[in-house]
Homo-oligomer: A and B are copies of this chain.
Amino acid sequence: MESGAEWVAVDWGTSNLRAWGIAPDGEIAFARSSDRGMGKLAPDAFPDVLTELLAADVDTAGTRIDVVICGMAGARQGWMEAPYIEAPADLGGLAYGAVRPPMPRSRLEPRILPGVCQKLGGAEDVMRGEETQLLGLGSLTPGFSGVVVLPGTHSKWVELSGRRIERFSTSMTGEIYEVLRTHSVLRLSMGGDLDGPERDVGFTAGLDTGIEAPQQLTAMLFKVRASALLSGRGPAWCAGYLSGLLIGTEIGGQRGWLGAGQAEVPLIGSATLCALYAKGLARLDIKTRIVDATAATLAGLKLARALA
């Protein structure tokens, strides 16, 4: 590889595709990204998309090159299904559950890491991609055990014992925000600039309501509309309230996960979204530490490969 990379780390999600060439010393030799996420691709399109993405950095001729992939590329409707490993699950063995989609006439030798599922006690749940971040967390903060929160479209709450996932739970918080904002009657109160200064005020009001009474979410949601009609609340306040109410409800409903013994809760995700969760958890006197999602993914892909 002209780029100096020894192997390639890939995060192939529903919406986006990102790849990093990793040098023998572990440094990043190159980085590429595209919007050709799993959601837009038929199974037979994946090899060409990967080849094109790496064309400028990887010569066509030469020895085989290891490509370690995490995320939705391994879903049933992705490139090739990488069956879930079941929680409680040791993430150190993630690479042993990988599948190897064939790429004939190519130097690229892809492996897709599995996701993690949970079946116990009727609490069925699944993750794909987050397990790699959780493995990475262990190398970024050696010896960590406790609860981790991964805010996102589908937020995850995970109990980790070192490299072992004990149990986890998914909240559809981000997606509920999007579908209500876009498709429900509440959209009528959110036409316009959603990022005005009133957004913070609305967020705080919603957050406090959600944390205090998570059992009343379906009733409290309609306040978005009623507040616009009766109190002249603008789009930014309403969007902030909706966001705060949903995040507060998630935190209030899941607070039983947070024992007294944990000094701080790692939050893995985008800085903006993690800051909102940090504000909510602070309401319960819980300290948080924000871990960059990309750093966790990269650390996880490296460790999965090193442990294989």
Contacts and interface: CB of A to CB of B under 8 A. Distances in A.
Interface of A: 76, 84, 117-119, 123-126, 154, 157, 169-173, 175-176, 179-180, 182-185, 213-219, 221-223, 225-227, 229-231, 246, 249-250, 252-254
B215 A253 contact: yes
A77 B216 CA distance: 29
Contact of A217 (B117, B217, B226): B217
Contact of A184 (B119, B179, B227): B179
Given A124-B227, A225-B126, A219 B170 contact: yes
A276 to B, nearest CB: 15
Given A183-B182, A184-B175, A219 B254 contact: yes
A224 to B, nearest CB: 9
Given A126-B230, A215-B252, A222 B183 contact: no
Given A124-B231, A215-B214, A172 B184 contact: yes
A218 B250 contact: yes
A219 B171 contact: yes
Contacts of A169: 219
A7 B249 CA distance: 49
A173 B218 contact: yes
Given A218-B217, A249-B218, A252-B215, A223 B184 contact: no
A226 B185 CA distance: 28
- Pairs of residues from A and B, 4 with the lowest C-beta to C-beta distance, nearest first: A214-B215, A124-B226, A171-B218, A215-B253
A157 B219 CA distance: 10
A183 B175 CA distance: 10
Contacts of A231: 119, 124
Contacts of A175: 184-185
Contact of A229 (B126, B215, B230): B126
Contact of A226 (B126, B176, B216): B126
Contact of A154 (B84, B126, B222): B222
A36 B185 CA distance: 19
Question: Which of A176, A180, A182, A219 counts the most B-chain CB atoms under 10 A from its CB?
Answer: A219
B124 A223 contact: yes
Nearest to A173: B218
A170 B252 CA distance: 21
Contacts of A173: 218
A174 to B, nearest CB: 10
A218 B246 contact: yes
A246 B221 CA distance: 13
Given A124-B223, A172-B185, 5 more contacts: A172-B221, A175-B184, A179-B184, A216-B253, A216-B254
A125 B171 contact: no
B253 A218 contact: yes
A60 to B, nearest CB: 37
